[in-house]
Every structure is written in structure tokens, then in C-alpha cells.
Structure 1
Amino acid sequence: MPSDTNAPVEQNPSAAVGAKVPAAPPAAVARGDGPCGPAGECAAPPCTLVIFGAGGDLTKRLLIPALYNLVVDGLLDDGMQVIGVNRGERATDQWRDDLHTSLQQFAAERSSAGKADEASWNWLAQRLHYVAGDFATPETFERVKQAMSKNGSGGNAIFYLAVGERFFKPVVEQLGKAGLLDESSAGGFRRVVIEKPFGSDLASARDLNAHILNYASEQQIYRIDHFLGKETVQSILAVRFANALFEPVWRREYIDSVQITASETLGVEGRGAFYEHTGAFRDMLPNHLFQLLAMVAMEPPNSFDAETVRDKKAEVFEAIQPLRADDVVFGQYEQGPAGVAYRAEPNVAPDSKTETYAAARVYLDNWRWAGVPFYLRTGKRLATRRTEIAVQLKRVPFLMFRDLPVDALVPNVLTLRIDPAHGTRFDFNVKVPGPTMRMGKVRSTFDYNDFFKEQANVGYETLLYDCMLGDETLFQRADSIEGSWAAVDAVLHPTAGGALPVYGYAAGGSGPAEADALLARAGHAWRPLDDEPKRP
């Protein structure tokens, strides 16, 4: 992973995708002038990346732009090859042209330069190869093997499953039967990257794990959660463990509660058929939000070794008290200021009971966090797009201020802002200027853009790079996956009382009133979704 620096990172303009001030290609890294770049990043070893689902949206909008950005940053070896596998015959040149068009459009949307750098694209394009075939037939994997033999990179290979979950089992099975996962005969590493959803409940997650581990070892499986590719998510560990100010108070004696929010202003955007079978709870809580929970709550690791970090995160999932019906609130957006009701969306049942909002109260059974509630919420068609973690400290005793004109002392809150704002802010009390002792709330804010030039990033660069290096820190193990699903399984499969009710909320609002009541029972309230500070 990129090394830290105590000074602003200066970078030259270029046309990397997804950045306001993209990085120029440090040619010394991957162009043969040296093994590592000026910031300490070294080019990944040569490998063949085989993408199943080469014609899908994930490949076009995220994987190829991420690879392109790695090219721009000089982090790919000259021996890199990419083989795209998809149904439907097409020439490699046609696939390359389609990806080029998508990349140019993406660059125009996300980059101040407005277009992709042609030299970097040409470097990547000449390494792109297309293989047509069905994901479940042995013949396809024989063609993949032949393509790898022709364009291979020292035996190293990564098989990326950018496909629907129904293909996870057959693809891994066919890879195993074709001998493509056998590292002893390959002369290099063989790794499989699997996108979420990794199961839909505890039973299906266990079944999927058992099936794929028949054909590959745990060390070969990289279960990806793109939330962990966000720089601001990775920085949570740096904020906690690199600053003496925070870690001593990061415990139940000082922290009152923690809120984790992932709100969206968009609706299902034409994905009604998918969402009807998933819902907000399955889509976000046992994976994305639990990953943020683990980063906040984990014990300090002895090192940043991958297994050490993943052991500490697994302990968090083991410590979660299984959620019950009264710990969770479901909601569904109705007609409101921000648009139509969920039930009016395409491919949604007119009487749908699918939740588009989910809130949960989570407790951890361990020494550090006993009695501290973690409040999690996520939803679509809410007032603001925001992903953040708010750590509220306990209030100070009011005794010494009781004879002063002080109505209340606001609690100290440290907010880790993940998306779209990147940084931290801290709310605390100060004396208001004047002849009397009056208290006022102030806010100290740190924005990444004030100190660091924004790098090109679509959220997958670090994950792909780490996979090539064999660094599993940001990927999930089987035990963590199953521990997450075990914590929510009683909500997904209630034994009494039937399915949870789904409460309505206006599109463009803050969620159902019942979610407010969930916190009010313990004297808490959600952080307002519209309290983003206005800068002068």
C-alpha cells in the first residue's frame, strides 16, 4: 500500500481517470528505469488478469479505469496481460474499442483533463485480449488456458469474477477442474477475486465458502469489498493508531456512542429487479457497514501484517451480539420532494415489501466496547449523499457550569468523513467572547484536499494492486464473512413475529420516524443529514 508522507503530495497534471488533479506516469517504475517510484510504490509482478464478465458494467466503469490509473502511476509490469471472457463472439479489437469509448466518457465525467492519456491507454490496450465462451462450460476454460499460454506472464494469474453471484460456484469449479488454480504446476501464484454479494444469509455464505474451498485454498481467495478501497476508509486505522490523542479514549469509558451512516440521494436507478431480491439490509449492513464497524472497533494489531489485521477484524464480528427484531428498523421511500415512490419504479412489485432503508443498533460483547451502542443506517432517496462515522464522546460533568448561563454543553464528536467529503471534523465547546462565561459550539475541520493533491482513484486501484502483490489486508476471510452473516441471520429468518414491518418515508427525507425512535429510547438522536458545514 502507498507509504505515508508528512508533506503535501505534489503531482504533475495528467489525464488519469477519476481525479481533479491526476498523477502523471512515474515512468521510472514500470518502464524499466527502476523497480520503485518516488513515493515508494513498486511495480506489481507480471501477471495475467482474467476478467470473467468482460462486457459488464463493472469491467467498463471500474476495473478498466482502475487498471488505466495503475498504468498512469507506473504500477503495472510490462509483462501484464488482461484476458476478458464473456458470452458472445467479438474481435479483440472491437472489445478494446468499446472499452476505449467507455474510458473516454468516464474521463470526461471524472477528470479535469477531460480525456484519457492516449499513451497510457495504448500501453494497456495492446495487452487486452478477448475470449468468448459460456462461464460454465469446460471448453471456455480450455480457451482461457490457451490464451494464457500464448500471452502469459510467468505463470502468475488472477481470475476476477465480475459476474452475477449465480456464476461464482461454476466459474471456480471450472477453474479448478481445468487445473488453472494449481500453483504447483503453474510456476506462479493463482488467485481468485470474488465480488459481493458473498451469500445472502449465513447458510448460503457457508455453502459458497465450502464449495469454492474444494477447488482453491483460503489464501487464493480474495473476497473483495470495494468500500475498503476508499482512501478515507483505509485512513481510519491511521487516525486511530498513529495519533496519541485518540487511542487512549477509544473505549467505553470515554465514548458514548458511534453512528455509521451511508446515505444516498439516488433511488434504485433501473435496478428494481435486483433490488427486489436484495434490499438495503442485505446489500449494505453485513458487508459495507460492518467493515466500517470493524475498522472503528478492532483492537490494535501488533503490525499491519495482513493476517494480524484480519484476525482483529474477525474478533469484532465474533463479538457482535446477534441482532433481534427490536434492534432493526426497515423503511421504504414513498412519493416525496426527491421523486416517485419505490413501488412506482420499473421492475418493482406494486405491493413490494422490500426495504430501501435499514437502521440497526449493534452492541459488541467485549471489554473495550461493552454497553456502547453502534448505530448503523443506510438508505436510498435520502436528503444527502453521505458516508461517515461519528464517534460521540461522553458529556463532561455539568457541575462547575450550573450557576452560569449555560443551557447545555454539546458533546464532543469526532466525525470521519468518507464520501463525498474526505477528511475529519471535531465538534467541541469554547467560551464565547464577552464579559460573561458563555459556552459555544465550534467545529475544527480537516479536508484532504487542503493538504494533498487528489489522486486518480475509482476505488479499485489499491485492491487490484494489493491482489497482485499478494497483500490480503483489505480482503475478507471466510470466517469474517460467516461471522457477519451470523450476526444478522435472526433478522433475515425470524422464528417469531414474522418478517419485520417496513415503514414509509418521503423521498428526499431522513428516513422513517421509527428509526428516530430506535435511538430515542436510549436518549440518542441521529446526526442530521443536512449539517454539512458551510465554508466561507
Structure 2
Amino acid sequence: MVSRVIPVDPFDLVIFGGTGDLARRKILPALFRRFCSGQMEDESRIIGAARSDHDQAEYRQMVADAIAEFNTSTTCEAGTIEAFVERIDYVHVDAKGEEGWDKLASMMHPNRVRAFYFSVAPSLFGDLAERLHRHGMADGESRIVVEKPFGRDLDTARALNDVLAQHFDESQIYRIDHYLGKETVQNLMAVRFGNMLFEPLWNSQYVDHIQITVAETVGVGGRGEYYDRSGAMRDMVQNHLMQLLCLIAMEPPAQFDPDAVRDEKLKVIRALNAVEPKDMVRGQYGRSEDGSDYLKDVENPRASSESFIAMRVGISNWRWAGTPFYLRTGKKLRARASEIAVVFKETPHSIFGPEAGRHRNILTIRLQPNEGMDLDVTIKEPGPGGMRLVDVPLDMTFAEALGPEAEDVPDAYERLIMDVIRGNQTLFMRGDEVEAAWAWTDPIIAGWEERGDRPVTYEPGSSGPEDSLALMHRDGRRWREIKP
């Protein structure tokens, strides 16, 4: 099976914050890999824009160095970096002033897709949008890409949406969440809606519960100041885990169309139940072997933000009434793993007797590492001695199933940036989605702040606080093990 790479139309892509960490680590290497694949036409141009006073040669060298350091593809031929940087330009721009804007406008080509990547702090989004409009760069073919956080609560999210809407239509705004660009996340829709095997069983009649886990082994690192103000709820649950929950729980859209898909996701968010205090556990990692702990990492000995959160969530609709969704995410945990586990109910009656034990079918979707899926099925254990049952996985690891082709699957940023150029918003959040997510999240945060709740401490390298295990045990269930 050979994948077909379809070139996109020529484009001008401006990266505001083009000298920043995100541009160097993710955006520029992603564009380079798309260039290597033959997806970028020769006329396409990439323009870095930032406050730093570089000339073109200096910026091209920075881009080449970033690709050499962060590119993960092994399929690019020798000399490709040199060819790629030939289409790179740079302009010194003052986001809050006038310097550089006329020069940037002069670089734009007529009758070409224009994409502007706001790889900057959200406080600058309004300034950039206004100046793009004022200097004539915001035409009908223009698109802007904005990174999270999309506000820190409902009020700020609305304000951010309002300021962008003053200069760009919703159809031109691409709120990027790299989790939605992962191959396995998109396969959620293919598995659900492309296989008769699963969709008839995808409801509370057959599904016992669903677990969504995003676990990290690292601490907050250099993001201490940000994490002290946000915590895992704002940083992970309100966006990443919320989007995974929506894709798992949504109704089949009428067609695979951006607004049809996002309409169904929005319905899920609006059907989420409020989370009671007893259905939630927050934690902070304790002292590590290197002597650091969460409070030191965020440089605040009284920090009440969380590095771990687990919660039991219900959805009030016909499909999912009575089926709990268990969400958890945290830092400094036992292993790095992102997965969704759909745990089906036991058979209503076992013909094999109690000695056969209890067995369930579990569909596990692995987002990272080792992207793929497992379906646990029950079979007879080989050998004599009666009908002994055992669960075995049907392994659908992409790298093994698809061979060399799976090794060079585009990463999330590659796919999402090309979707921006194509004008496909399916994998991007709409403004009303973002606001609905904050409308659900805000009361939960306000509740623990009013009660004065503090996160419990958990041991680095563990599965999180002991209380999170009890969250499942009281329901007669247990978390799937986070395996190193």
C-alpha cells in the first residue's frame, strides 16, 4: 500500500513568533517534512516575523539549525535543507507598533492562499489581527492559526473570540490543538463510523465505562510560572481531554464535513454533567530524586494548582446515560502514555460457569507512544483440562500493520498546517466549542477555589494519588495500568 501525497496550492505562510521555541521545535520542522514529501509547490513561501532584528541570511541559518536539531524524518535527501531554506524570508515586525508591517504586506503575493500563524502570547492576537486587516493582508483567502490557551475562563475566551471576529470570519480562524492531528485520533472516527462492527455497540447498553488517560513522565519544566496559574485542568482537561471525549462520545455526523463534525462535538460538551467534589481528585507531585518537587518547580510554596487531575464525568443524553467517563492526566507519572480504553460490559450470562472467570472486551486506542489499537477478546486457553478462558489482544499497531509506510506518517503539526492551507477546519475547534468547554470547566474550578481545596501529594513515578484509585474502586472498577 503506497500513500499518495497531493501537493497543496501555492501559499504564503507567515509565522509570527518565527524565532520562538514552538516555531523552532514544531512548526518549521513540520513544514520541512512536508517539503521533503513533495507536498509544497515551488511558488510557496514561508516568512518568519518577530521582534528580533535578523536579516534573511541569519534567519535562514536559524531555520537550518532548528531542522538539523528537531527534524525526526529520515527520508529527506541530502541537500534538501538548503533547497527548503531558499523559500524562507524574514521581516522584523513590531506587533504593537507600525514597524515592519508595510514591508510584510509587500511580500504577499496576489491570488494566493495567505496563512498567518500566531505563535505568540494570546495578548498579542488582537494586535496582530488588527494590523493584518489595516495593512490589507486580511482578504477572503486569508487564514489565521491560533495556539492554546484560548483564554483562561469563559469571559477571556469570549473576549478573545470577539477581538478575532472583528477582523476575521469564523471560517478563517483555525484554533489548533495538536492532539487532534494525531493519526490515531483521526482513526477514532474511522473505527467508529467506518466499521459496522463497532457503531451498533457504541452506547450505554453495551459499554460499561470509558477511560481517557494522558500521562507524562516529565514535570512542569520551564513552564512553572504558567502552570502555577493554570494547572492541569486548564492546561489539559479543558482542551485536549475534552476533544478526545467529544470524538469518542459524539453522534455520527450527517457527513464528514467540518461544521457537521463540530456540531456533534458541541452537543456532547453541552450534555456534560456537572462534576461533584466526590468525583474528582487533584494532586501535586512530591519530591523527586533530584530534590525538586512541584512547589519548587513552580517557585511558589503555597501553590494550589494541580499537576494531576482525575474525574468521573457523565453525559446526559440517550446514548450515554448511565455510562461513566473517567478522565485523568498528570505529570511525573510512571510512564508516558496517552490512550482511550472503551470497556464493554460482560456477557449477560456465562455458559462456562464461575470457574471460567470474568472477562470483558476492551478496545484500547493508543495515541502515544506506539500509535495503534488493541481489541481484547476472550478465547479458550490452549490445552486440556476443561474450558479455561483467557483474554488476548488483537494488536493493530500501525508500525507493524502498515510496515515502512507507517514510519513516515505525518506528525500532528504537519497534518494540521496543511489542513489550514487546504481550508479544512474539521480538526480545529470552533469558537462556540471553546466557549462551551469553558462554561463547563469554570464552575468546577470555582467550586474548589471557594471550598479552599488543596491538591494531595503523590509520589513521582507512581500512577498518581491513591485517592484517584479509590475514585474507581468505589464503582467496582479500576484504572488500566500505566505501563513504562
Give TM class, smaller chain. over 0.9
Q: Report the counterpart of residue 391 of structure 1 in structure 2.
A: 342
Q: CA deviation at 1:444?
A: 2.0
Q: Report the counterpart of residue 23 of structure 1 in structure 2.
A: none
Q: Report the counterpart of residue 119 of structure 2 in structure 1.
A: 162
The question of whether the paired residues in 2 share the 8 Å contact of 1:324 and 1:490 is answered with no
Q: Say whether 1:483 aligns with 2:436.
A: yes
Q: Report the counterpart of residue 181 of structure 1 in structure 2.
A: 138
Gaps of 5+ in 2: none
2:300, 2:332 → 1: CA distance?
Answer: 18
Q: Report the counterpart of residue 299 of structure 2 in structure 1.
A: 348
TM-score of the pair, normalised by structure 2:
0.95
1:211-290 equivalent positions in 2, closer than 5 A? 211-290=163-242
1:365-514 equivalent positions in 2, closer than 5 A? 365-398=316-349, 400-402=351-353, 404-406=354-356, 408-432=357-381, 433-452=383-402, 453=404, 454-455=407-408, 457-494=410-447, 497-514=450-467
Q: CA RMSD in A?
A: 1.9
Task: Identify which of 63, 78, 89 aligns with 2:27.
Answer: 63
2:190, 2:291 → 1: CA distance?
Answer: 40
Task: Identify which of 441, 447, 470 aligns with 1:517.
Answer: 470
Q: Say whether 1:93 aligns with 2:44.
A: no
1:146-157 equivalent positions in 2, closer than 5 A? 146-148=106-108, 152=109, 154-157=111-114
SS in 2 for 1:426: strand
Q: Post-superposition, which runs of at least 4 consecutive aligned residues in structure 1 deviate over 6 A?
A: none
TM-score of the pair, normalised by structure 1:
0.86
Task: Identify which of 293, 298, 321 aligns with 2:250.
Answer: 298
Task: Identify which of 195, 206, 211 aligns with 2:158.
Answer: 206
2:174, 2:29 → 1: CA distance?
Answer: 20
The question of whether the paired residues in 2 share the 8 Å contact of 1:339 and 1:507 is answered with no
Task: Identify which of 328, 353, 365 aligns with 2:280.
Answer: 328
1:401, 1:125 → 2: CA distance?
Answer: 66
Q: Which residue identity does 2:332 align to in structure 1?
A: R
1:361, 1:112 → 2: CA distance?
Answer: 42
Q: Say whether 1:53 aligns with 2:5.
A: no
Say if 1:509 and 1:427 are closer, same or farther in 2 by CA, change over 3 A: same
Q: Say whether 1:171 aligns with 2:171.
A: no
The question of whether the paired residues in 1 share the 8 Å contact of 2:93 and 2:100 is answered with yes
Q: CA deviation at 1:500?
A: 3.3
Q: CA deviation at 1:516?
A: 1.5
2:452, 2:101 → 1: CA distance?
Answer: 43
1:476, 1:496 → 2: CA distance?
Answer: 28
Q: CA deviation at 1:40?
A: 4.4
Task: Identify which of 68, 73, 82 aligns with 1:104.
Answer: 68
1:84, 1:147 → 2: CA distance?
Answer: 12
The question of whether the paired residues in 2 share the 8 Å contact of 1:47 and 1:153 is answered with no
Determine what percentage of the aligned residue pairs are the same residue. Answer: 38
Q: Which residue identity does 1:488 align to in structure 2?
A: T
Q: Deviations over 1:443-495 (max 9, x none)?
A: 22111011222115342111111110111111111111111111111012228
Q: Say whether 1:74 aligns with 2:35.
A: no
Q: Report the counterpart of residue 309 of structure 1 in structure 2.
A: 261
Question: How many residue pairs align between the two structures?
Answer: 480
